[in-house]
Amino acid sequence: MASTAVRQEQLWFLDTLVSIPVDHASGVDGVSVIESRAREGDSPPLHVHHTEDEIFHVLEGELRVRLGDSELVVAAGETVIGPRGVAHTYRVESSEARWLVITTRGDFERMVRSMSRPAERPELPEPSGPPTQEQVDALAAACRECGIDLVGPPLA
């Protein structure tokens, strides 16, 4: 099968700029690759994936990653896995960071797409500030539909 380069769709997912160079439907194994870019302090709620591991590969900057009861700093060129069933989250520690998220099955990708909007420009969205309870509830519902449970707050 010949592959061709396609222009990647850019999305604003919460306060991050994402693109999906490998869609889960592109191959038989369901691998999804999402490139994320966010500013310092970006941190999703602590969460558990029930159907897929989540691999983080940092391209630029630095992430602090919590995996269960452990925390580690992951810098450019380093990779860490958030195993299925283990609560995890991250926080951007550098002024900005760019990383790849690799999963299988498409559940995480579907959740990202459901909570995203087309990026108006190839830049980070304006910071949205603390989410409202309605936004938290919508994110939790989208996550549940995709086999992900929110189990705690973001990293401070």
The pLDDT tens digits of the residues spanning 135-148 come to 999 999 999 999 99
Residue 7 CB partners (closer than 8 Å, separation 6+): none
What does the pLDDT read at residue 2? 47
What does the pLDDT read at residue 84? 97
17: nearest Cα among 117, 94, 138:
117
Q: Specify the fold of 10-121+130-152.
A: Jelly Rolls (2.60.120)
Residue pair 18/115 in contact (Cβ under 8 Å)? The answer is: no
Is the per-residue pLDDT at 5 higher than 80?
no
DSSP state of 25: G
pTM (two decimals): 0.92
Task: Categorize the per-residue pLDDT at 1 as very low, low, confident or very high, splitting at 50, 70 and 90.
Answer: very low
Quick: pLDDT tens for 57-90. Answer: 999 999 999 999 999 999 999 999 999 999 999 9
Q: Distance between CA atoms of 143 and 138, rounded to whole angstroms?
A: 9
Quick: pLDDT tens for 10-47. Answer: 999 999 999 999 999 988 889 999 999 999 999 999 99
Residue pair 87/68 in contact (Cβ under 8 Å)? The answer is: yes
Run of H or E including 73: strand 70-75
Quick: pLDDT tens for 92-119. Answer: 999 999 999 999 999 999 999 999 999 9
Domain spans of the chain, in order of start: 10-121+130-152
34: nearest Cα among 112, 93, 145, 96:
112
